[in-house]
């Protein structure tokens, strides 16, 4: 099992992502030589969430007392080469981006016979999505501050050669429960290095038109950030439909009602 600490990856390089087929339980995914046990350093606590490949639990550093989150990925759920490549790329990208104040920090990576564990910063404030659900739209000053921080971290990702591909309120976390909490960009499961693409990724509410047209670069993240700004100010997505096909149709037409945003955008001249 491998351990890789954030900020000290010089002794451990991730193999290239030309991966094999679905791994058996005894195959190494990270290909590292260092061994150890997750539970030697951390105490695992309550379950915080779950995803396609595993669960997220609270974990506590036995030595410092720091409360963190542990994402445990079950190897037997990685059934295709793309699944394996995706996990390796997610870890590689998180290690590249860790250290920015608005990115969820990757603390360490452990590999066991049956699991890969990602130990990460825990954001006590939860998802921006849940805050929107509870409180509705933001005031203009609140939205301005949050959006500035979002664009700063998006630009940081792009400067590092990374496109997130799934920007949405569910993937923006709040560090604390304070009303002025900093944001943290999370979930790099669909992130990749910037290059032209052909396959649409992400959630339909936030997909940029150029993605539907078959291209994909950092401009698509900027579009998704703009959709988030619209939601912050209006409380609803700009392209709304009960079905995915309806949302994609409206997106293709680029039909958006700015009258739902009270008073603010009438002062802004649109730019190409």
Give Cα separations from 228 to 6, 139, 183, 232 (angstroms). 29, 14, 13, 6
Catalytic one among 166, 187, 217, 221? 166
Per DSSP (E only), the strands in 150-243 are: 162-163, 172-174, 183-185, 192-193
For this structure, is 76 an active site residue?
no
Rounded Cα distance, 46 and 56, in Å = 9
Q: Using an 8 Å Cβ cutoff, are 85 and 19 in contact?
A: yes
> What's the CA gap between 127 and 228, in Å, rounded?
13
CA distances from 270 to 179, 183, 238, 241, 265 (A): 31, 27, 15, 24, 9
CA nearest neighbour of 146 among 221, 233, 210:
233
Q: Is 75 annotated as a binding residue?
A: yes
Residue among 56, 57, 38 nearest 46 (CA): 57
Q: State the Cα–Cα distance between residues 57 and 52, nearest whole angstrom.
A: 15
Considering Cα of 29, then 30, then 32, then 36, what sign does the dihedral take? negative
CB 59 within 8 A of CB 120: no
Taking alpha carbons only, the member of 9, 10, 1, 5 closest to residue 34 is 1
- 149 CB-near residues (< 8 Å, 6+ apart): 102, 182, 183
Specify binding-site residues for ATP. 75
Which residues are the active-site residues?
Answer: 166
Specify binding-site residues. 75
């Amino acid at each position: 099992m491998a351990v890789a600490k954030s900020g000290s990856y010089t002794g451990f390089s991730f193999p290239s992502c030309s991966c094999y087929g679905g791994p058996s339980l005894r195959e190494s995914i990270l290909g590292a030589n260092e061994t150890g046990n997750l539970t030697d350093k951390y105490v695992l606590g309550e379950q915080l969430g779950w995803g396609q490949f595993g669960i997220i639990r609270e974990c506590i550093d036995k030595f410092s007392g720091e409360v963190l989150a542990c994402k445990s990925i079950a190897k037997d759920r990685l059934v295709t080469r793309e699944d394996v490549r995706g996990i390796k790329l997610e870890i590689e990208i998180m290690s590249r981006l860790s250290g920015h104040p608005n990115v969820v920090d990757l603390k360490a990576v452990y590999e066991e016979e049956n699991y890969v564990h990602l130990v990460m910063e825990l954001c006590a404030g939860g998802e921006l999505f849940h805050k929107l659900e509870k409180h509705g739209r933001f005031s203009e000053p609140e939205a301005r501050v949050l959006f500035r921080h979002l664009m700063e971290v998006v630009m940081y990702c792009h400067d590092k050669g990374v496109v997130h591909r799934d920007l949405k309120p569910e993937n923006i976390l709040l560090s604390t429960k304070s009303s002025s909490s900093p944001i943290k960009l999370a979930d790099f499961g669909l992130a990749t290095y910037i290059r032209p693409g052909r396959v649409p990724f992400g959630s339909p509410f936030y997909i940029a038109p150029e993605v539907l047209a078959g291209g994909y670069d950092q401009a698509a993240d900027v579009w998704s950030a703009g959709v988030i700004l619209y939601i912050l100010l209006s409380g609803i997505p700009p392209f709304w439909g009960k079905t995915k096909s309806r949302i994609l149709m409206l997106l293709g037409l680029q039909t958006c009602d700015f009258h739902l945003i009270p008073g603010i955008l009438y002062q802004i001249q649109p730019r190409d």
